[in-house]
């Protein structure tokens, strides 16, 4: 469950960042993308290893 929450938060953050980027409303530094991707990957990894 924890992994899924992390995954969806990361995914949501990426979508929001992409939409803001389209309208040139970027308030956050480019590293924000990196953190969103890492968050999603950690969530997926957590779920995969938890189920083994």
pLDDT in tens, 11-38: 888 888 778 777 776 666 677 777 888 8
Q: Could you give the number of structural domains in the chain? A: 1
> Which whole number is the average pLDDT over 4-12?
82
pLDDT surpassing 70 at residue 9? yes
Which domain does 38 fall in, by range?
2-50
d(CA 42, CA 34): 12
Global confidence as pTM: 0.60
pLDDT surpassing 80 at residue 8? yes
Task: Give the model's pLDDT for residue 43.
Answer: 82
Task: Give the model's pLDDT for residue 49.
Answer: 83
């Amino acid at each position: 469950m924890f992994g899924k929450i992390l995954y969806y938060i990361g995914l949501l953050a990426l979508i929001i960042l992409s939409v803001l980027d389209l309208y040139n409303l970027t308030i956050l530094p480019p590293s924000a993308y990196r953190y969103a991707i890492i968050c999603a990957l950690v969530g997926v990894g957590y779920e995969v290893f938890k189920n083994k």
